[in-house]
A and B are shown apart, each in its own frame.
Chain A
Amino acid sequence: MELFIQQLTNGLAVGGIYALIALGYTMVYGVLKLINFAHGDLFTIGAYLGLTLLTTLGLTNYLGPFGVVIVLALMVMGLVAIVGAALERVAYRPLRTSHRLSAVVSALGASIFFQNAVMLIYGARYKVYPHDILPRTAIHVFGLDIPLIRLLILLTSIVMMIGLYLFIQRTKIGTAIRAAAIDQGAAKLMGINVDRVIMIVFLIGPALGGAAGLMVGLYYGQINFTMGWLYGLKAFTAAILGGIGNIPGAMVGGLLLGVIEAMGAAYISIAWKDAIAFCVLILILIVRPTGLLGERVAEKI
């Protein structure tokens, strides 16, 4: 039972991270019908930028632990958002009318570019986050000691997701995003500036991905320039699990995948942990490709 609760909370925390990354994939796919292969690398950039800012700005001198994290998160999110918007402008916008596969190759190229840029700047070895930013205490909950960090991460992810959900459902821009995701042409005819909507999607999605990168750095303490690939693929699985293009779906998918993975690692085998995510992916795509919350779209013949 103890193992179960620990793994559950662990799975939810990791799942929250997957969800934040998955949101980036799902929002971009929703409006552009494009899998942004470079998204995982934006996540990586977030993790590295977090480290740089942390060590160079010496924020711990001025602020308490939570203050540091909040300021750090805001800065990282802002910076990664800018990189994301630039990515869209340079690598994707010129290909909007071209064949789907061209955009895929461009995305792959951008991914290679970012990954190697990070490697050139920071080196190929693992980098370590300072351990003492957040208190490494445990909270006594459900009769168990659960690490504070884990709960904080879970809480933060949930807060961000709720924020995004409200933004998408209740604001004018959010509605514009949803409209553009359903039918770009019609949205344009309704006076929606689709270019701007897309740019906003590429600000929000990468921002969340960057935040997730920061969280991984704080939670696991270690980052590497290749981490974007595995996290990216898993987050993509989460997005598909929930229904690609569906925002609540990405949230549900992320949390669910995190828990499935944690349980699988604990009760089946830790060596196959990564394979679990891929098995889930393939199963979902064969059995229910539109995902848990996705909608069927019929083709008119």
Chain B
Amino acid sequence: MKMTPAEIIEEVKKANLRGRGGAGFPAGVKWGFLPKDRTRTLLCVNADESEPPTFCNRVLMETDPHQLIEGTIIAAYATQSQIAYIYLRVEFHEQFHILQKAVDEAYAKGYLGKRIFGSDYWLECYLHRGAGAYVCGEETGLIESLEGKRGWPRIKPPFPAVEGLFRRPTVVNNVETLSCVPHIIERGADWFTSIGPPHSTGPKLFCISGPVKRPGCYEAPMTITVRDLIEREDMGGGMLPGKRVKAVLPGGVSMGILSADELDMKMDFEDPRKYALLGLGTAAAVVIDDGTDMRMVLRNMARFYGTESCGQCTQCREGTAWMQKIASRIAMGAGRIEDLDILLETARNMGMMPGLSICGLPDGATYPIETIVKKFRGELEAAIRAQAPQRAKAVLSVLN
């Protein structure tokens, strides 16, 4: 409470704390976008963790909810917000109760509410549970949902920092980002920047799932590689006996796929671009073993986005559904070689970076499809050629 809000923002900027939600936008810079002459500011905590293999926010909320609340209080103080909303995905049932208990405890101790620590600053904190939509993890989708509307992302500008929740300047931050804030303030920006490479500072949580010995959530600096995450004894601990890595989705599903010979990719904010991936994403890796048919992976990816597209922008609404149809048909054994080209073209038409749509969902929907088709084209083509012609014909005749 000795620091002024401006000093906190400066410290966080100096620490180069990049958003842990997926896009990696510097949190301090985001706070700096708030207009100087604003009268009321709102803070939203994005706990709508819905990227498929990701569970680092869940772990944070289960094991140390007070760390999140502390980060929320500091961020709210820095942005001069007096209301903080924590937006939880509806599936976080247990986590909601844990967090609610922690918030109640914080109120009881006087850390939340009026005159925090005897200062003249007050902060109300509310938990809000979503209704189950991937797109509500997008910050403007979250804002719309929080307002009680359909979770359709908003057109920008105006950006939330200028006009967000209830048309007031709003900051939306991820759970993990805010959980870093108390440590930056306590130990200083220099401590934070001493961890990891200069463009990806601070500790980061990594999730690993799939056929590894120790699936779970591990903290490490952003210098580790995908191979480290799988092999290291204190992390994944290697593959299960008899399994070999065939591919890895290193940053949640939306960032794209790595083939087995690209495992030296560094898990930081910059390196994934070199491997034709969208970015670091949520740093949650799924390992796919050599017993898995890539057609099924493709179908699974396409189905997810076909279900989760919000339906607002044309390219995403129609494109994800079309890709889902094609991928399902290929998985059913009625693929055509030209389908792979159509998938690639559709992915491009849906607008890969820089996008054509209101939000980034179609970018995330196209990267896994495109990278799977490009990096595993040989296998997919072989599978299509090996289809039983009678079956393919039967499936096609039903669909036509």
A, B co-complexed: no
Contact residues of B with A, CB < 8 Å? none
